[in-house]
Structure 1
Amino acid sequence: MTRRHKRWAGLLVIAAALAVVVLAGLPGGDSAANLDERSYRSGYGSWAGALFPAADEDRATVEAGCRTWWRDWAVGEEDAGRYDVRSWIVGCADYIEQKDSRF
């Protein structure tokens, strides 16, 4: 292997490593790694064990309902400002869709 090839190989390794770092930092869906656990658990438990039939609506509709529920719930919660609203809504929607908790 010539010096030139070694240099290109080195640059390719560096470029690949940079690509991995950049892609790892991009948000991707709502995996547990991207959610605030306290907020998610609060949203998941906000229905206090109420039983729901399996949701017939799509995820966006369920989350819209949870957003409305968040507004009602947050009024009576003095620490509501300390919760991550997105994580709370995801937890609420997971509960309504009868999904296992992500935590």
Structure 2
Amino acid sequence: MKCHRFIDFFEEAVVPYKERHKEHIRLDGRTSGGNRKAFGHFYYQDKYWKVDSDTWIEKLDIAFNELQKGVDPFRIMKTRNSKNECLIITGQKGAKHFYVYAI
């Protein structure tokens, strides 16, 4: 699903998924391991971003709640190999669990 805004992506893709799969902590239903399959896309800062299926739902909830307060939760960073960009949630410590990359 390709949405224009993160809020649209969250409401149109994540919320229905959460309602159908209340027990899942990730968008792919697994508890570990990588999964680069795209769950969806949204537009932010003049480019589209791919949300990988191993992203934790809790992290998407945090970003959505910050946007609802009028706060931009995202910061653009270079990936580890500096070949692409990824989004991180500002102020989050510990494990990332938020896998969103520029496309």
Q: TM-score, normalised by structure 1?
A: 0.27
Which structure has the larger Rg? 1
Point out the structure with the larger helix share: 1
Structure having the higher strand fraction is 2
TM-score by length of 2: 0.27
Larger RCO of the pair (alpha carbons < 8 Å, separation 6+): 1
